[in-house]
Structure 1
């Protein structure tokens, strides 16, 4: 067991939870089974893990976004390149989450199955708010109160402003900046510790779900997985390929052929960071992108460009809302789009952070975090597809920036250089 990766342990916990739940389902009304196994054992493992996640969400978001925004000095150095890159990454992420919410509402992955009866907390989703109120609500009047209440949109805005202010002051606040970086490292270590408990939490949550609902919980799980993959494919075909053709003036088939190597690395490792060396080498040698452009856009993209993660969060939000019988309003959709887009800045670098950020999105619209158990169980399979989407977006952004800056070598020149090397 010690040699197994955390992902494999979570998947095994999912399988064991499903089997345990299905075995106990016929005896769910038995007093001993209900009182000591379902309501105590399963509930303790699952709810304990959920509380641990809630414990680290706020400090994780605050520290990650503050440290990330404090590094914005690169944008000042590179000028137009930095602004173009940020606009592309945040813009495509907003499109991705919007597409995910739209397709999720159409396919209804969780419709017909209601898990609300196994949740002991009250579920409440606020009434629709005018768009201007949503925007104004992002600005914290009292940042300390926002941190205490866990108001994620306000925390995100305050963290970014705080980080930008540190970047502008530079060495004048070097002590504060170093302290924030060390605090961020501490929080990331806490994330690693909490995520080690994930197999136990998933086992408890899944076991309770299937012991209460039986086989009826399996169909929506498959619909969720298929839904995420469909949206990822649509985002690649519609958003990325349109930008590739119209802005970068590049042949999509030629791009796919050249970039298939990094795509396979991303699919097998499920890590944008692990794929970074392969992507950088491919963009420089096979596409002719200058080193000055690729060395900025690709590392930045592996940190803040999380279109695949945003798509997962969008479909998962619809999925969890439907299985708990909660109707999301247009105001909730807008909140999810803004939260997921801004939160994408701080989702990279640590295993399991994407799912924890999903908890932040669910919390923002008042949905129960217990629904994450179903999502976490098959997240490894989803992660392979969404990582490919993430690194593809990084590559297309790099091509677009290089094209608009006049730093993209023609294919004929690349071929001549390769022949000379041979």
Structure 2
């Protein structure tokens, strides 16, 4: 790719914030402390989780950088970075969540395969860029189109990023053409994050943002876009990030029996307390995040301070001074909500959070019921145990 290259080793990695918990060094995968997630509605770039599959690509010449658009269309096109920046710019506040978020808790039940994420493989940012629907219209694919005249029904995004799982080939993923050409789906080719140019870890100079969908489909370091007839056949679409029942193991798995995971389910996590934390008896503020995929709002967050015997409803909010109503027109429809509740805790106990989205989907109670061999989509009730002590640990 002119202007953009993928290094063969890890000698030119960017610097990272020292507070990040490193789950893997090469490739670099790290998450912030959970308490950092509730310190602000918009996650600072340096505290946004880092999910990588290989060495971080380098921009050699931004003026030469372009994206090739090919496939089942009448007129292939090279789109230069300057061309994309001349299109109408949109800012979309959207939460990205790795499908493996909370994998460590799932692995306690039975061993799973994957990066050992705790609860912070998630972040909320303001992404700035051009809508993919506008870009496709430039090459003759009208808005709200589900198939091109040549039979293209999916949009494949190919990265410059090379990864072991693709036998040294590029990371890639796809979404349906109907989603890509729908302006209301807010799929972006983003070049900004929180008002600044993307940094290297997060896809500089250009990445895809697919709101409401697992982070694996928001391809970074974009190299090309292909209009194809079937779903992308890459590793991360066909042999990873699929949801299997607990009965399936590595001995009986059949990858083609499940579709690639897209929307993420309803999720909530307590961030103000660590598990097995010692606290003083009395008033305790419980806060965290809740989010659902597919543009579904959060209808309710329930908190229990007695191990699930009784429940109280927490306060939900996004922007200060604006009341949050699930699916309300003033919401950031692709973003998480933060929740909080102050309670009196006189004794050691288990605190639990569970969320309900606007379609009445609720988090499952037990992680055992949703265990899967890849450890994805752990959306079981989030539990923290607290001990009454004389000082905080």
Per the TM superposition, whether the score is higher than 0.5 is: no
- From the two aligned structures, give the one with the greater strand fraction: 2
TM-score of Structure 1 vs Structure 2, range by shorter chain: under 0.3
Output the TM-score relative to the length of structure 2. 0.24
Q: Whose radius of gyration is greater, 1 or 2?
A: 1
Output the TM-score relative to the length of structure 1. 0.22
Q: Which has the higher contact order (CA 8 A, sep 6+)?
A: 1
- From the two aligned structures, give the one with the greater helix fraction: 1
